[in-house]
Chain A
Amino acid sequence: NAGVTQTPKFQVLKTGQSMTLQCAQDMNHNSMYWYRQDPGMGLRLIYYSASEGTTDKGEVPNGYNVSRLNKREFSLRLESAAPSQTSVYFCASSVRGFQDEQFFGPGTRLTVL
């Protein structure tokens, strides 16, 4: 089992460019999450998907969109990247949600110039 995988590992964008971060899990989990991690702050939830076919906003959703493509995949899209979106992005999944531990991917380090 690969667990939670994320692509790419690193990305540099110019302001205004768009990109999609990919996340996939092979554990048959129902819930998936996207977080960002900034220096001095804990993880902040961007969007989550409690189950296939549903998505909801987290704490910091502005500037992002998500797609739960199927049970395995949950992608995060930046339509027009801004320097404030420079961060490390983590995808996570869990079996059912709040009552189950989350498994995290290796992260994507994004720099927006």
Chain B
Amino acid sequence: ILNVEQSPQSLHVQEGDSTNFTCSFPSSNFYALHWYRWETAKSPEALFVMTLNGDEKKKGRISATLNTKEGYSYLYIKGSQPEDSATYLCALTGTYNFNKFYFGSGTKLNVKP
């Protein structure tokens, strides 16, 4: 079992604030990391797939970085909007079985207008 930890558990910000959260994982057993956005009453939707140390990905106001040597990934949201309110999940696969995904418990973001 791969231990994937996300922090903080929840976050409340004002519209326009920039924010970031963390996904931590065992650096010795990494193959790929996925970020997903999960709105209430919907299904998770993919944001990024990251496989290389130093990867940086961007989609609009959302970006992510990956450090496999120290075992973390950051997700940044610039200028948060109410529609960014969702739970953000990261998922990891390891070198021993790269098709077996382990999800963190998520960071729940609430953006107040």
Contact = CB atoms under 8 A, between A and B. Distances in A.
B34 A45 contact: no
A101 B43 contact: no
Interface in A77-108: 90, 97-107
B44 A43 contact: yes
A interface majority secondary structure: loop
Contacts of A90: 43-44
A107 B43 contact: yes
Interface residues of A, number: 26
B99 A42 contact: no
Interface in B83-104: 89, 91, 93, 97-104
Interface string B1-45: 100101000000000000000000000000110101000000111
B31 A98 contact: yes
Given A42-B89, A43-B44, A106-B43, A100 B49 contact: yes
B98 A40 contact: no
Given A59-B1, A99-B49, A107-B43, A42 B98 contact: no
Interface of B: 1, 4, 6, 31-32, 34, 36, 43-46, 49, 51, 89, 91, 93, 97-106
29 contacts: A40-B105, A42-B89, A42-B103, A42-B105, A43-B44, A43-B89, A43-B91, A45-B102, A45-B103, A48-B100, A56-B97, A56-B99, A58-B100, A58-B101, A59-B100, A90-B43, A90-B44, A97-B98, A97-B99, A98-B32, A98-B101, A99-B32, A99-B49, A101-B34, A102-B34, A104-B43, A104-B45, A105-B43, A107-B43
